[in-house]
Amino acid sequence: MLARTAPPEFIAVIGKPTTYTTKEGNVLISIRAESILVVDNATRDRWVAETANLTTKRLARLQGNEPDAVKAREHYNTDVEQYKAMVAMVVESMRAR
């Protein structure tokens, strides 16, 4: 399938994630592809917009005082501002198109 695609086509990969923990404690994640589809620009744009919206909502929850948010901050040490900047960059790139 991939050999038949021509940039700038967008593809969707559907598969099952697998995790593996190394001896050093690093977690490696891979996806075993089950299906690969070419998608049109409108579909890709909807997915990107929805992901940006949901990420913004998750970041807002992460900054709250709910017990799960506190645990997540302690465990993942997420730089919320970095993620907000990435979302803003994505939204701006969508507007430019």
pLDDT in tens, 29-82: 999 999 999 999 999 999 999 999 999 999 999 999 999 999 998 888 888 999
How much is the pLDDT for 7?
A: 86
21 forms beta bridges with: 27
Confidence of residue 19 (pLDDT cuts 50, 70, 90): very high
Q: Which of 48, 44, 46, 56 is nearest to 9 (CA)?
A: 44
How much is the pLDDT for 92?
A: 93
Joined together, the tokens standing for residue 73 give 């901050």
pLDDT at 22 > cutoff 80: yes
d(CA 24, CA 95): 43
